[in-house]
Amino acid sequence: MKTKTSATISVLLLPLLLVTLFSIAVSAVYAYGSSQIYGCRDYGNDPPEIAVCEAMTESIRSSFASNNYFAYPNGYVQNYYGPATAADFICSRANIAQQSYSWNTVFYVGHSGIDQLEEPQHIYVYMNLHPYTPDLIDYNIWPNTGYGTHYFVFFWSCGTANYIGAADPSPPWQLAYCWTHRDGGAISSDGYADPWGSACYIGFQYGSPWLSDYDDYGGIHNYGTFVQKFYEYTVQGHQTINTALNNAAKYITGNPQATLQSLQLKQGYDVQGMWSYIRVFGNGDMQIPW
C-alpha cells in the first residue's frame, strides 16, 4: 500500500509540476507585444505613392522597434509591406501573435472592397499581388484573433470602418469586430468624441485618400507624414491615440490650433457620391504600452 500510495502521489504531483512550469513559461512569453505592418503595392503606375508608403511603413516599424515593450528580444516588430502581404500569411501571423504576446497591433495600407452597402457588410482587403492572389476577407481573420489581444488595429483603406460589425448573422463581419472580437456593445462607435472600451480600431467610412495626398484644409505635409507622426507620438511619445491624432494634425498643417476634427480627413469628402472620412472606434484615450 505504501508503494502504491507513493506512486499515486508521484502521479498526482507530476501534472501539478508540469502545470506550474507551463504557467511560468506562459506568463514569461505573454509579457510583451507584437506589431505587424502590411500593405498592398497595387497602385498602378504611381511610383510616388509607393515611395510614400514604403517610407511610412518603415517609419512605423522604427517607432515600434524603439519601444522596449515591442522591440526584440522582448516583443516582435516586422514590416511586411509588399510581397509578404498575403491572406494566409496575415492570418497565420495573427494567430501566432495572439498565442505569443499579450498586446498586439496591426497596420495595413492599400485597397479594399465591400460586398454590399447594407449590413452585414463584408470587407475584401487586397493583398500584394491582387487580383492574382486571394483577398483577405474579414471573416477569415476572425478565427485567428479569438484571444481578443489585438488591441489596436489601423487600416488605411476604403470602407474598412463603415460598421463595427458583429458575430451575427454568421459569418462574422467587418474588420473592426473580426480583429478585436468586440462589437458595438463593447466598444464606442465614435472613439474620438466618445472614447470607451478595451480596444481601438481606426479605418475609413467609404473612401480613403492616397497617402501622397495633402489635406485640403491647410495641409503642408502629406497623409503619409500624418501617419508617421501619429505613430511617433503614440508609440514613442506615449500619447493617447486621440492626442497623437490631434498632434499629427498640427504637424501636417503647421497650425498649433489644428486637431483631427479640423482636417478634411475627419470632416469628410465625397468619393463617387459617398461621404467619406476617417473613423475611430473604441477607446481613443488608450495608450500604446511601453
Question: How far lies 34's CA from each of 91, 108, 152, in Å?
Answer: 14, 15, 11
The pLDDT of 266-276, averaged and rounded, is: 97
Mean pLDDT of the chain: 90
Are the CB atoms for 112 and 66 separated by under 8 Å?
A: no
| Structure confidence by residue, pLDDT tens digits, 241-253 | 999 999 999 999 9
Residue 202 backbone dihedrals phi, psi, to 5 degrees: -120, 130
Exposed / middle / buried, residue 218 (Cβ in 10 Å: 0-12, 13-18, 19+) = middle
Residue 40 three-state SS: coil
Nearest alpha-carbon partner for 224 in 206, 245, 210, 208: 210
What percentage of residues in the chain have a pLDDT greater than 70? Answer: 89
Nearest alpha-carbon partner for 166 in 131, 106, 120, 128: 120
User: Looking at the predicted structure, is the pLDDT value of residue 17 above 50?
Assistant: no
* pLDDT at 132 (0 to 100): 87
The answer, as to whether pTM is greater than 0.75, is yes
Instruction: Enumerate the domain spans of the chain.
Output: 32-212+275-282
* pLDDT at 42 (0 to 100): 79
Are the CB atoms for 153 and 106 separated by under 8 Å?
A: yes
Nearest alpha-carbon partner for 279 in 261, 255, 253: 261
Rounded-to-integer distance, Cα 205 and Cα 238, Å: 27
Give the orientation angle of helix 223-231 with respect to helix 47-65, to 10 degrees: 10
* pLDDT at 105 (0 to 100): 98
Contacts (Cβ under 8 Å, ≥6 apart) of 240: 234, 284, 285, 286, 287
| Structure confidence by residue, pLDDT tens digits, 117-174 | 999 999 999 999 888 889 999 999 999 999 999 999 999 999 999 999 999 999 999 9
* pLDDT at 46 (0 to 100): 80
